[in-house]
Structure 1
Amino acid sequence: MSDELFVVTVTYSPGPHLGRFLSTLSLSTERPVTVIMADNGSTDGSVEEALERFPNARLLRTGGNLGYGTAVNRAVAELRKEAGDLTPDLFIVANPDVQWGPGSIDALLDAAGRWPRGASFGPLIREADGSVYPSARHLPSLIRGGMHAVVGPVWRSNPWTAAYRQDRLEPSERPVGWLSGSCLLLRGAAFDAVGGFDERYFMYMEDVDLGDRFGKAGWQNVYVPSAEVLHMKGHSTGRDPARNLAAHHTSTYTFLADRHNKRWQAPLRWTMKGALKVRSRLAVRRSRRKGRGGS
Structure 2
Amino acid sequence: MKLSVIIVNYNVCYFLEQALLSVRQAAERLGQPVEVFVVDNHSADNSVSMVRTRFPEVILLENHDNPGFSKANNQALRQATGQYQLLLNPDTLVEEDTFRRCCAFLDEHPGCGGLGVQMLDGQGRFLPESKRGLPTPRVAFYKIFGLAWLFPRSRTFGRYHLGFLDPGQPHQVAVLSGAFMLLRKAALDQVGLLDEDYFMYGEDIDLSYRLTQGGWQNWYFPGARIIHYKGESTKRTSVNYVFVFYRAMAIFAQKHFAPGRAGLFTKLINIAIWLRASAALGQRLATRAAPLLLDAGLLYAGIYALKVYWEANYKYERTPFPPQYMLVAVPAYIGVWLAATWLSGGYDRRARAGWVVRGIAVGTMLISAVSNFLDSWRFSKALILLGGAWALVVLVGRRLLVHWLRHGHLRLSEPRTKTLAIVGSAAESQRVRLLLAAAKVPANVVGYVAPVGAEPAVPTRDYLGELGQLPDLMRLYELNELVFCGKDLPAGQIIDLLQRLPTRPRVAYKILPEDSQYIIGSSRKNAPGDYYALAPPLRLYQPAQRRGKRRLDLMASLALLLAAPLLVWAQRRPAGLLPHIWQVLLGQRSWVGLRYTPGGPADRAILSPADTAAAPATLSAAARQRLEFLYAKDYEPESDLRVLWRGWRRLGGG
Category of TM-score, reference length = shorter chain: 0.7 to 0.9
Cα distance change, pair 201–283 in 1 and its aligned pair in 2 (3 A): farther
Q: Is the 8 A contact 1:253 1:272 kept in 2?
A: no
Unaligned runs of 5+ in 1: 80-86
In 1, the alpha carbon distance for the partners of 2:86 and 2:169 equals 21
- Of 143, 165, 182 in structure 2, the residue corresponding to residue 148 of structure 1 is 143
Q: Is the 8 A contact 1:101 1:229 kept in 2?
A: yes
Matches within 5 A, 1:115-130: 115-130=109-124
Residue 44 of structure 1 is matched in structure 2 by: 45
Structure 1: which amino acid aligns with 2:271? Answer: A
In 2, the alpha carbon distance for the partners of 1:146 and 1:211 equals 21
Cα distance change, pair 290–101 in 1 and its aligned pair in 2 (3 A): farther
In 1, the alpha carbon distance for the partners of 2:21 and 2:39 equals 18
- Normalised by the length of structure 2, the TM-score is 0.41
Deviates more, 1:216-225 or 1:228-237: 228-237
Residue 16 of structure 1 is matched in structure 2 by: 14
* Superposed displacement of residue 41, structure 1: 1.1
Residue 58 of structure 1 is matched in structure 2 by: 59
In 2, the alpha carbon distance for the partners of 1:293 and 1:8 equals 42
- Of 84, 91, 97 in structure 2, the residue corresponding to residue 103 of structure 1 is 97
In 2, the alpha carbon distance for the partners of 1:78 and 1:124 equals 28
Structure 1: which amino acid aligns with 2:71? Answer: T
Q: Is the 8 A contact 2:253 2:262 kept in 1?
A: no
Matches within 5 A, 1:1-295: 2-3=1-2, 5-28=3-26, 29-30=29-30, 31-79=32-80, 87-134=81-128, 135-152=130-147, 155=150, 157=152, 159=154, 160-170=156-166, 171-238=168-235, 241-262=238-259, 264=260, 268=264, 271-286=267-282, 288-289=284-285, 292=288
* Superposed displacement of residue 213, structure 1: 0.8
* Superposed displacement of residue 142, structure 1: 1.6
Q: Secondary structure at the match of 2:101?
A: helix
Q: Is the 8 A contact 1:242 1:288 kept in 2?
A: no
Cα distance change, pair 212–45 in 1 and its aligned pair in 2 (3 A): same
In 1, the alpha carbon distance for the partners of 2:75 and 2:287 equals 35
Cα distance change, pair 273–137 in 1 and its aligned pair in 2 (3 A): closer
Deviates more, 1:35-44 or 1:265-274: 265-274
Q: Is the 8 A contact 1:151 1:158 kept in 2?
A: no
* Superposed displacement of residue 283, structure 1: 3.7
* Superposed displacement of residue 266, structure 1: 7.0
Q: Is the 8 A contact 2:148 2:160 kept in 1?
A: no
Residue 486 of structure 2 is matched in structure 1 by: none
Residue 82 of structure 1 is matched in structure 2 by: none
Cα distance change, pair 44–239 in 1 and its aligned pair in 2 (3 A): farther
Q: Is the 8 A contact 2:86 2:180 kept in 1?
A: yes
More helix by proportion, 1 or 2?
2
In 2, the alpha carbon distance for the partners of 1:25 and 1:99 equals 8
Deviation string for 1:86-122 (max 9, x for gaps)?
Answer: x532111100111011201111100111111111111
* Superposed displacement of residue 25, structure 1: 1.6
Q: How many residues align?
A: 285
Q: Is the 8 A contact 1:12 1:235 kept in 2?
A: no
Cα distance change, pair 161–59 in 1 and its aligned pair in 2 (3 A): farther
Q: Is the 8 A contact 1:136 1:176 kept in 2?
A: yes
* Superposed displacement of residue 22, structure 1: 1.0
| CA RMSD in angstroms, aligned pairs only | 2.4
Q: Is the 8 A contact 2:137 2:265 kept in 1?
A: no
Structure with larger Rg? 2
- Normalised by the length of structure 1, the TM-score is 0.87
* Superposed displacement of residue 10, structure 1: 0.3
* Superposed displacement of residue 239, structure 1: 7.9
* Superposed displacement of residue 282, structure 1: 1.7
Q: Secondary structure at the match of 1:42?
A: coil
Q: Secondary structure at the match of 2:96?
A: coil
In 2, the alpha carbon distance for the partners of 1:240 and 1:281 equals 9
In 2, the alpha carbon distance for the partners of 1:65 and 1:167 equals 35
In 1, the alpha carbon distance for the partners of 2:254 and 2:71 equals 20
Deviation string for 1:197-235 (max 9, x for gaps)?
Answer: 111111111111111110011011111110111111253
Q: Is the 8 A contact 1:245 1:283 kept in 2?
A: no
In 1, the alpha carbon distance for the partners of 2:112 and 2:139 equals 25
Unaligned runs of 5+ in 2: 292-654
Cα distance change, pair 142–266 in 1 and its aligned pair in 2 (3 A): closer
Q: Percent identity?
A: 28
Cα distance change, pair 224–158 in 1 and its aligned pair in 2 (3 A): closer
Structure 2: which amino acid aligns with 1:137? Answer: R
In 2, the alpha carbon distance for the partners of 1:184 and 1:200 equals 19
Q: Is the 8 A contact 2:148 2:158 kept in 1?
A: no
* Superposed displacement of residue 272, structure 1: 2.9
In 1, the alpha carbon distance for the partners of 2:137 and 2:88 equals 29
Q: Is the 8 A contact 1:9 1:72 kept in 2?
A: yes
Cα distance change, pair 27–168 in 1 and its aligned pair in 2 (3 A): farther
In 2, the alpha carbon distance for the partners of 1:147 and 1:11 equals 33
In 2, the alpha carbon distance for the partners of 1:292 and 1:52 equals 42
